[in-house]
Amino acid sequence: MQKRLLKKEKLEFIQNTLNHLYPETPIPLQHKDAYTLLIAVLLSAQCPDERVNKITPLLFELADNPYDMAQLSVDIIRDIIRPCGLSPRKSLAISQLSKILIDKHNGKVPQDFQLLEELPGVGHKTASVVMSQAFGVPAFPVDTHIHRLATRWKLSNGKNVEQTEKDLKRLFRKDVWNKLHLQIIYYGREFCPARGHDLEKCIICKTIN
């Protein structure tokens, strides 16, 4: 019978495994600056990153900054982003937030959680991704992959994403949050999916549970 890992050993094993598998953590969404990342993350809600990466070049060819985006009609934005789903809501949010960035923030994406979350279509997770990946501010965005794995690995009780975020921030050092959240996403997609989970291939689940 396998010896149960102590909590500290469990956390170390998770981090060491993820560091070995994913020493580099490129951001899955293609972008060139904070604005294009913000738009890409907004589009990724309930939409796979691969599809977002096919759509954003078409959108950014017309407008890759708030000034150009504000000149586009909501209908044009909606027609381009339609494959990403929720296009009526997302297109309106993109148009409105672009105008707000111009009016209130000199055309720049604010480096502030509260100001980001005040923008249309921008929730806490989107703000966290932008703060961590565009500005390097420690954050732990929790998506469905991270929420699922944190529950499977018994790092959180899985009640909701807000609780999962608090639990993960408490368990792991602040200086690893930005890299770790991407590593967990990569691991979830490759080894620990929601369906068809193969315990023999999933070294973390096999070892710590």
In this structure, the number of other CB atoms found within 10 A of the CB of residue 132 comes to 20
**Separation between Cα atoms, residue 116 and residue 195, nearest integer Å:** 34
- Four-residue CA torsion sign, 144, 158, 146, 141: positive
Q: Of 49, 99, 112, 143, which one is the catalytic site residue?
A: 143
Structure tokens at 159: 């009640």
Of 94, 71, 68, 65, the closest CA to residue 81 belongs to 94
Output phi, psi for 107, to 5 deg. 80, 5
Chain-centroid distance of CA 187 in Å reads 14
Catalytic residue among 10, 64, 90, 125: 125
Token digits for 134? 């565009």
Q: How far apart are CA 162 and CA 39, in angstroms?
A: 23
143 classed as catalytic: yes
Q: What is the DSSP string of 97-110?
A: HHHHHHHHHTTS--
- For the question of residue 33 being annotated catalytic, the response is no
The residues annotated with a catalytic role in the active site are 125, 143
